[in-house]
Amino acid sequence: MDLNRSEADGRAVVLRPSGRLNLTTAAVLRQSVAAEVDGGRVRVVLDLADVSFVDSSGLGAIVGGLKSARQAGGDLRIAAAGEQVRTVLELTNLDRVLRPHDTVEDALGGW
């Protein structure tokens, strides 16, 4: 899994993982979100447009990032999730906690 990073108008950091978000790659995402939050960037958007698959380990990394961002006074939002990712979020009811946004720009709204 590759992970790209960019800043969004100083309001948030955007992390763009690509590939499969599973047991072997979830640690990379978890560490990346933790580094951002520890560095004071507590508004994080995960752009999931290039994530083709997510499993329970990937969901755990996302939820862990959400928890750490919120504990630091920020938030983690997800954007551009594909059909498989949205289905997993819906089946686990995580779409109620992590409301998927259609685009990164939508996710940045209100910040």
pLDDT for position 88: 96
For position 49, which CATH number holds? 3.30.750.24
Q: First and final CA of the chain: distance in angstroms?
A: 28
Low-confidence ranges of the chain (pLDDT < 50): none
Full domain range(s) for residue 98? 2-108
pLDDT for position 53: 97
Residue partners of 85: CB distance under 8 A and separation at least 6: 48, 51, 53, 54, 100
The domain tally of the chain equals 1
Residue range 21-41, pLDDT digits in tens: 999 999 999 999 999 999 999
Distance in angstroms (rounded) separating the CA atoms of residues 52 and 32: 19
CB 12 within 8 A of CB 44: yes
pTM of the model: 0.94
Amino acid at 93: N
pLDDT for position 90: 96
pLDDT for position 49: 97
